[in-house]
Amino acid sequence: MQTNPDLLNLLHAQNGPFLTLLVKRPTNPASVNQAKLTFKNLLKMAATMMEKSFPNANWENYQSRFTEYQDNNDFWLSGTGKTVALIGNEHQIFTYHLNRELDDHVSISHRPNILPIINEELEFNYLVLALNHDSFILYRGDQHHLLPINLPADAPDKLTKALGEEIDGKSVNVTARGHEPGFGSFHGHNEKSAEVQKDKVNYYQQVADYVLKNFAQYDQRKVILFGLPENQTIFKQVAKSNLIDEKLHIDLSPAKTDFYEVEKQVLNLMSQWFDSVIAALSKDYEQAASKQLLVDEPYNIVEPVMNHQVDQLIITSGATARGLLLDDGNLISNTPEASQNNLLNDLAIFTILRGGNVITLTEDQLPAKTRGGGVALLRYAQSGIERAEKS
């Protein structure tokens, strides 16, 4: 599990403080005014917070830049998801459309508040193979988007291109079934039925070789199959690849499915993917516990984070801990800015910048209870003994 590289642009943004606004995304034109009113009220709250914790900041610049979004109807109605997040300073604003529905929220912090968006920025890149009996379409996707891949002219995207024009099934007496015209139950001519099945296996072998070699193997990208179960079964038998995702698949015919329905079906699988992430984390947690590579309580996590020891940081959703972690590793707690700052957010940022991973989980998703809202899984023991053994 990795963090999306695009998130680094936000983490490297300078010149805080940073303002974070979360607003439920309006679902139709009638609800836009309510979203804009909520946004306006959150900005008023932000003005008060800024004056208290960052009195030297130029609030007029923040207000001017954020208000541009407040009055933009197209912005509120564009995109997808259930929550709109805006994170920025007086120079630049980053916008996100989150799949989760979060409460309306405003915060101001020394660094960007990434905790509301961190799960949405986990990197999950994959391919979707929409597989018919005589053709395929290939897509590339992540947690939020799906895009069709424009294949080159020599791609075996049609059975006739792969096996020859004479293989078109038209000479076989068939009755269509399911949602795939032209592929069904054969009446008589058993030898023809066997030939068509053999052609199908040969075609799927070419598709598997082409997709795996040219699109999946380079970065070990998982392939999600979209097709009738019997077609998926044959394809997996000929592909013989662990890159075919066993858990994520869509058992529908893509023959008469447009792009938007394909995207909808695929993005609906993301909750299942996240469940698998949590299951894997539970195993990692147990292994770390057995090797005494766990540290909980935010203030105890500071040192291993700054020493590049944290491989995985798990934060309880909504948890806070007062304190401001400086770039040199010093922890400040006795200033207005520090009292308003969430140390867990700082730990998350430094963990990512040092090559670690971060995820937020609800209480019921956590592998075990945490002290202070955070637990770190270490790469090696704090004493350095385990690090020496690995080297």
Other Cβ atoms less than 10 A from the Cβ of 204: the count is 23
Q: What is the pLDDT of residues 270-295, one digit of tens each?
A: 989 999 999 999 999 999 999 999 99
At CA 32, angle to CA 29 and CA 35, rounded to 5? Answer: 160
Is residue 283 classed exposed, middle or buried when 0-12, 13-18 and 19+ CB atoms within 10 A define those classes? Answer: exposed
| DSSP strands (E only) in the chain | 2-3, 18-24, 83-88, 93-98, 105-109, 122-123, 126-131, 136-141, 146-148, 174-177, 180-186, 222-226, 244-250, 294-296, 310-316, 324-325, 331-332, 357-361, 374-378
Residue keyed to tokens 């730990």: 347
Other Cβ atoms less than 10 A from the Cβ of 126: the count is 21
Given a contact cutoff of 8 angstroms between Cβ atoms, the answer to whether 142 and 124 are in contact is: yes
Other Cβ atoms less than 10 A from the Cβ of 34: the count is 12
Report the chain's terminal Cα–Cα distance, integer Å.
23
What pLDDT, on a 0 to 100 scale, did the predictor assign at position 5?
67
Q: What is the pLDDT of residues 99-147, one digit of tens each?
A: 888 999 999 999 999 999 999 888 899 999 999 999 999 999 998 889 9
3 state DSSP class of 277: helix
Token couple for 266:
């695929």
DSSP state of 56: T
Q: What is the pLDDT of residues 203-249, one digit of tens each?
A: 999 999 999 999 999 989 999 999 999 999 999 999 999 999 999 99
Query: 320 - beta bridge partners?
Result: none
Q: Residue 65: how many CA atoms within 13 Å on its side-chain side? A: 19
Given a contact cutoff of 8 angstroms between Cβ atoms, the answer to whether 136 and 47 are in contact is: no
Is residue 25 classed exposed, middle or buried when 0-12, 13-18 and 19+ CB atoms within 10 A define those classes? Answer: buried
What pLDDT, on a 0 to 100 scale, did the predictor assign at position 99?
85
Lowest mean per-residue pLDDT among 40-54, 96-110, 171-185, 239-253: 171-185
From 340, 323, 342, select the one nearest 332 (Cα to Cα).
323
Token couple for 115:
């905790």
Residue 306's alpha-carbon distances to 70, 310, 322, 338, 359, in angstroms, are: 38, 9, 18, 18, 18
Cα-flanking dihedrals φ and ψ of residue 80, to 5°? -130, -170
Q: What is the pLDDT of residues 307-348, one digit of tens each?
A: 999 999 999 999 999 999 999 999 998 888 888 899 999 999
Radius of gyration of the chain (CA): 26
DSSP state of 333: -
Average pLDDT for the chain: 88
Distant-in-sequence contacts of 27-34, Cβ < 8 A, 24+ apart: 29/73, 29/77, 32/73, 32/76, 32/77
3 state DSSP class of 7: helix
Given a contact cutoff of 8 angstroms between Cβ atoms, the answer to whether 342 and 115 are in contact is: yes
